[in-house]
């Protein structure tokens, strides 16, 4: 099976959707246990609301968009650009934190690796020329 631009694009979008779907579900359903390994302890309704919205709802919304972009060719480039911006932004933030704050634990480092790889995969999909079909 040949890895075409279309297949690579769909793969990048589905991988990104899976990642943000998992984070979104954990952020929405179990925010306290999700954030405890990184030393964040949520206290009170305002903190819970903020995390359920920013980690939960936002990531679930992005997962839906990435899946829609994987399914609809007309959304594919926009979806890939969104993956690069979203995952690339997370990667940049983690790099800055590693320099300014020090190297994180393995749990956070695994997020960095996954985000950087996903951003790179989406960039590769944008860089590969589309396969031309014969007339």
Residue 37: predicted pLDDT? 86
Segments forming the whole domain that contains residue 10:
5-127
Residue 102, class by beta-carbon neighbours within 10 Å (0-12 exposed, 13-18 middle, 19+ buried)?
exposed
CA 45 to the chain's CA centroid: 26
- Residue 121, Cα to own-chain centre: how many angstroms? 11
* pTM beyond 0.75, yes or no: yes
Question: Residue 132: inside a domain, yes or no?
Answer: no
Is 59 a member of any domain? Answer: yes
Count of domains forming the chain: 1
Query: Residue 106 domain-assigned?
Result: yes
* Strand (E) or helix (H) holding 69: helix 58-71
Asked whether residue 113 is domain-assigned, the answer is yes
Q: Decide if 27 is inside a domain.
A: yes
Distance in angstroms (rounded) separating the CA atoms of residues 95 and 14? 25
Examine residue 42 and state whether it is found in any structural domain, yes or no: yes
List, run by run, the mean pLDDT of 10-residue segments along the chain (135 residues): 83 97 95 89 93 95 98 96 97 96 90 96 90 58
Asked if the structure places residue 133 within a domain, the reply is no
């Amino acid at each position: 099976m040949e890895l075409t631009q279309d297949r690579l694009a769909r793969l990048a979008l589905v991988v990104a959707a899976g990642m943000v779907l998992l984070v979104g579900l954990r952020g929405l359903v179990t925010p306290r246990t999700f954030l405890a390994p990184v030393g964040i302890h949520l206290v009170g309704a305002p903190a819970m609301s903020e995390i359920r919205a920013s980690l939960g709802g936002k990531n679930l919304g992005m997962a839906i968009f990435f899946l829609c972009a994987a399914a609809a060719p007309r959304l594919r480039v926009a979806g890939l650009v969104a993956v690069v911006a979203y995952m690339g932004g997370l990667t940049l933030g983690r790099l800055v934190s590693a320099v300014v704050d020090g190297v994180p634990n393995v749990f956070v480092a695994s997020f960095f690796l996954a985000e950087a790889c996903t951003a790179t995969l989406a960039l590769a999909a944008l860089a590969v020329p589309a396969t031309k079909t014969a007339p």
